[in-house]
Structure 1
């Protein structure tokens, strides 16, 4: 099991999960951020298309490196089905969670201060 840690392809796959999740969360959450002037509703079609296209594109980009899990639930499902090792599942989930946090931090840093007051709120 620990022999897997010595492989370069293993660490490439873990990094791919991190970057893939960072890209997906940044794009999808960024599209849901209300950038429109006050009083105008967020465009639901734009948000839906961004989520769908970003997950599909990201899975295509990293699928050949890591399998394109991009979701801890998918990784847990594959672990339960004995398709991935325990070590791989733990590191995939950790990198997915860290990628999500990194994307959220990037989005917070790049969002103008005039829009930060409602960032993360369901208002």
Structure 2
């Protein structure tokens, strides 16, 4: 009877050992899975970081492009303003030129009239000309 009890106890312990071995195998599998998941997590974190940096680079590039575009627009506006100012100055000069041309024409006509007048009036004798005209006291 004691032998049966010992055998029974031995079988019981054997089953416990087998159960524990199975649990160790399962735990080992779980540990391996956890390690694999951690490795995948690190890889994913690395990829997310890489994508985040790429996104930041794109955002910065777009801002730089927007800034460059804004600067170009400002340059175009400044050049347009300069062109309008030059066009206005050109029109002013054109107007002044027309005015001077008219004055020159008028002076030419006056000179021609004076020449014609001088040719019609007999030459005055030296010393007889007076500021008030011929015969003035």
TM-score range, shorter chain: under 0.3
Larger radius of gyration: 2
Higher helix share: 2
